[in-house]
Structure 1
Amino acid sequence: MKTYDAFPKPIGNYTVGRTQIDFKYVASDNSERELTAFFFYPSDSSEGKPTAEYAFPELPSLWNECMVKNGLEMDNFFNFNIKTCCYEDLALSQKENRYPVVFYVHGGTTYPQQNTVTCQDLASAGYIVVTIGHQGGGVYRLKDGRLSHISKKYYEDLQEFGTDPVTKDVAPILVEKLEKEKSLEISRKVTSSPGAVKFAKYAVLQSEDIRYVADCLYKMNTGDIGSIFKDRLKLEIGIGVFGHSFGGATTAIVCRDDDRFVCGIDFDGGLFCQDSDLKKPFMMLGSTVSYNVDALFLESNSGETYFVILDNVVHFDFGDFIFLAKNEALQLSLRGTRDAMELRNILTTYTKAFFDKYMLKKSVEIESLAFDGVEMIKKSKK
């Protein structure tokens, strides 16, 4: 497998700008939440600036504080100095009056820049993408330089969820795609397990983070909060949201609880609200394991629902990690067998097509998309 020193060129015609904004609010559990958010957006020129750093210098050591507890030294695995295709604090493009907005939700214990590739692709195609660092559940650096760590309690509850007897009991049978009734049985077991029920509270809290930042976007659009986005956000069509892993679980909860979010996509994440009817279009892009765990959702959601199942992939394949491995041997230990560029093309194509259809109301036939080793299951709107 090939290694990379730069991310692939974005798919669209816009130059990609990126800016960082911090937020603070009090959540429903009365905790004070300090968040940071990165905005990837369309621009007309790089203004002669160098490309933005992928992540902050302290990320490897900060991430290791959590990961080494699992025997993983992530800074030895990944090249966090990879070259991006975005530029800090550019002017927003003047080609359109306003641009649609989607949120990206990073995976548990990771960081807000975790899927820069897809964020760049969507921004280059005319979307504004907002990705938040979630306090306690990820690692990030605030604009003033302070670092936010994964909380001890979050990590302990994550460990408990991962070692839940129900999860351990079903894990050996998840690799092969199961028949519908068996997969529904597995979905119900995993979703209702004590570890899942307990850990779901963090997805609810992260959904509050997203909804608060969405509140701020409306104020940015009116100018009540100063930013480059005054009168430039196409919020009347609704907001989209997508996320990886635990971020995918958060995505579904946001769609369930907030009517401003009109559609969502889950990248290989186990859902905690599978028995909920989101009443909105939703897509799951995942592995066979993901299908076996999340099949119940196809029965529960009354909006148009897609399950796109990719073969020869593992959980780390749904994001930047496919381009970050430092050497071929590490890729083989952390990756599935799909080519990184092929996989990026699949994920970006489905993601853009979905948002184009359900946000921009373009005539897009998602069912007509075809890739080797990819199966689509679609359930039409009830």
Structure 2
Amino acid sequence: MSEWATMPLRAALAIRGAAVGPLRRSLIRLTRRTPVPPTWPAPAGRHPVGVRDAVISGLGPAPSDGVIRIWYPAVAGTGADPRPYFGGPEEQRTMVRGLRSTLSRRGVRALGARRTASRPDASPSAEDAPVVVFSHGFTGFVGQNTHLCEHLASSGYVVVSVAYPGAAAAIAAPGGSERVMTATERRRLTSPEFVRTIAALLSARTSTEEDAALARAATVDVLAAENARWTRHLSGVLDALTPPESRARRVDEVTARLLDAADWSRLALAGMSFGGSTSANLAQVDPRVSAAINLDGLQQGELLRLRDSRVPMLVMSSAGSRLRSGRVVTDLHYEAPGSRAEVRRVLVPDARHYAFTDLVGFGTGAVRRLLDLGTVDASRMLRLVADTTLAFLDATLRPVAAAGAGREDRR
């Protein structure tokens, strides 16, 4: 398919984007109901949860290039009042600018004002806690999976969420530095080559045609460049935080003490969408990593296609990732033919892509369809992602945990 031949599909995608966004925002503005639930679901673990925002120096020219958010087990009764989802007024304003085209100003403000279960700068309560480094998706944000991160922290994990500059909808750093994704950055993955590949995948009528399209998807130039950029950034985060002497130089003293108490020899990478793919790729080559989780991400590159993962993997997928043959887009990844690699696959057939984030509880009716959430019940989805992730991490990072379920779980 030539570049000219892709023009109708590219135009159709542009028209759909131009129509869906305003329609979704209008529906959010017009509805009388609040677009988010009135209460925040409490994490199920036995620990209260602390939270702290920090900046890793040297990851880029601006402080916003090194933003991380840390959730951790905390001492009861310590710390400030529970954190609003988007923090203080400065972060609220930044996130409105970054997400208003998706959720409308009203929707972003309602989401941002919710009180989470995390208490800023609470005293840490657990030592030698395993570490999970979380990566958001393309156009996501550092707190997009706050419910999952709180659930893990309440269960005894230290969770470090990474913001990806130029790929996050918006980043607000402590001290006022910010970065909001531009329209050009949002469009950079939609090249003619990418459109040709997606068109071939959507039109495939046999498994052989799907295999060929998925193989081509692994070599799309813009995706390869983005994958390399994300992998470099995530690797840079681990380089900065894993050695104690580096932590002492690269983050503030309070954050360094908090991270010093964690057990960095038990480290997992987790992520949603592009962040899930990046987590899997880096886990394959970085000996510091013991496990990886991909939440509904199209796996980028050839590194894990028809090859065994070096570490145990949890792969959760939505109905939107299911192909015409009934397979999902990652079924050709993480395992060589005939192998018995440690891979647990979970398909959630009534969920769609963004149901794997906190947005699963956003809006009703048409708004939910336009946000690509599916029909899954929000409370059920939040519990499913949190409980499945925790069970997998306990089985891989905690030797006394119960053995995981079977290799295949189709829900």
TM-score (norm 1): 0.82
Secondary structure, aligned partner of 2:290: strand
Distance 1:230 1:299 in 2: 33
Q: For 1:154-233, list aligned pairs within 5 A.
A: 154-160=185-191, 163-171=194-202, 184-215=211-242, 219-220=246-247, 226-227=253-254, 228-229=257-258, 231-233=260-262
Post-superposition shift, 1:111? 1.0
What residue is the counterpart of 2:167 in the other structure?
137
Aligned residues between the structures: 358
Distance 1:223 1:158 in 2: 32
Equivalence for 2:268: 240
Local SS of the residue matching 1:50: coil
Which residue does the alignment assign to 1:89? 121
Which has the higher mean CA deviation after the structures are superposed, 96-105 or 122-131? 96-105
C-alpha displacement of 1:214: 3.0
Q: Of 53, 73, 96, which residue of structure 2 is paired with 1:61?
A: 96
Q: Which amino acid aligns with 2:54?
A: I
Q: 1:215 to 1:152 in 2, by over 3 A?
A: farther
365 and 98 in structure 1: CA distance in 2 versus 1, 3 angstrom threshold: closer
Q: Which residue of 1 aligns with 2:398?
A: 360
C-alpha contact (below 8 Å) 1:243/1:266 kept by paired residues: yes
Task: Give distance in 2, aligned partners of 1:352 and 1:369.
Answer: 16
Post-superposition Cα deviations, 1:113-157, rounded to whole Å, max 9, x if no partner, equal 110000000000000000011121112111111111225664342
1:17 equivalenced with 2:50 (yes/no): yes
Are 1:306 and 2:344 matched, yes or no? yes
Q: Which residue of 2 aligns with 1:346?
A: 384
Give the direction of change, closer, same or farther, for the CA distance of 1:75–1:247 in structure 2 (3 Å limit).
Answer: farther
| 2:290 maps to 1:262 | yes
SS of corresponding position for 1:229: helix
CA distance in 2, matches of 1:224, 1:10: 28
Q: Deviations over 1:279-333 (max 9, x none)?
A: 111111012443532222143487411221110111010010012x244542343
**Candidates 148, 166, 176, aligned match of 2:179:** 148
Q: Deviations over 1:62-95 (max 9, x none)?
A: 214xx74xxx4544545222221111000001xx
Kept after mapping to 2: 8 A contact 1:14/1:124: yes
Identity %: 18
For 2:240 and 2:134, locate their aligned partners in 1 and report how far apart those are by CA, in whole Å. 12
User: How far apart, CA to CA, are the structure 2 residues paired with 1:199 and 1:110?
Assistant: 15
Identify the residue that residue 40 of structure 1 maps to in structure 2.
Answer: 71
Q: Please give the alpha-carbon distance, in whole angstroms, between the structure 2 residues aligned to 1:359 and 1:85.
A: 25
Question: How far does the alpha carbon of each residue in 1:337-366 deviate from its partner, in whole angstroms, 9 at most, with x for none?
Answer: 111111111111110011111111234332
CA contact (8 A) 1:183 1:293 kept: no
Cα separation, 2, equivalents of 1:247 and 1:224: 23
Aligned to 1:52: 83
- The 2-side partners of 1:216 and 1:190 are apart by 36
Name 1:8's counterpart in structure 2. 41
Cα distance in 1, alignment partners of residues 104 and 201 from structure 2: 28
After TM superposition, give the deviation of residue 59 of structure 1 in Å.
Answer: 3.6
Structure-2-length-normalised TM-score: 0.77
Greater alpha carbon shift after TM alignment, 182-191 vs 330-339 = 182-191
Give the number of the structure whose alpha-carbon radius of gyration is greater: 2
Between stretches 182-191 and 275-284, larger displacement belongs to: 182-191
Return 5+ residue gaps in structure 2 as ranges. 1-32, 322-326
Q: Given the alignment, which residue of 152, 156, 161 partners 1:122?
A: 152
Q: Is the 8 A contact 2:55 2:64 kept in 1?
A: no
Q: Quick one: which amino acid aligns to residue 297 of structure 1?
A: H
Aligned partner of 1:380 in structure 2 is none
Instruction: Decide whether the 8 Å contact of 2:334 with 2:341 is kept in 1.
Output: no
- Give the structure 2 partner of residue 105 of structure 1: 135
Cα shift readout 1:187-221 (whole Å, capped 9, x = no counterpart): 32322234433432332233234323433666448
Q: Is the 8 A contact 1:104 1:241 kept in 2?
A: yes
Alignment check: 8 A CA contact 1:164 1:194 kept: no
CA distance in 1, matches of 2:92, 2:319: 35
| Letter of the structure 2 residue corresponding to residue 88 of structure 1 | P
Mark the CA change 1:172 to 1:315 in structure 2 (over 3 Å): closer, same or farther: farther
- Measure, in 2, the Cα distance between the counterparts of 1:232 and 1:60: 31
297 and 274 in structure 1: CA distance in 2 versus 1, 3 angstrom threshold? farther
**C-alpha RMSD of the superposition:** 3.3
* Contact 1:207/1:253, CA 8 A, preserved across alignment: no
Check conservation: 1:51, 1:85, Cα contact below 8 A.
yes
- Structure 2 residue matching 1:38: 3-state secondary structure: strand
Distance in 2 of aligned mates of 1:218 and 1:357: 30
Are the aligned partners of 2:63 and 2:177 in contact in 1 as well (CA < 8 Å)?
Answer: no
Query: Are the equivalent residues in 2 in contact too, given 1:157–1:199 (CA < 8 A)?
Result: no
Deviates more, 1:50-59 or 1:126-135: 50-59
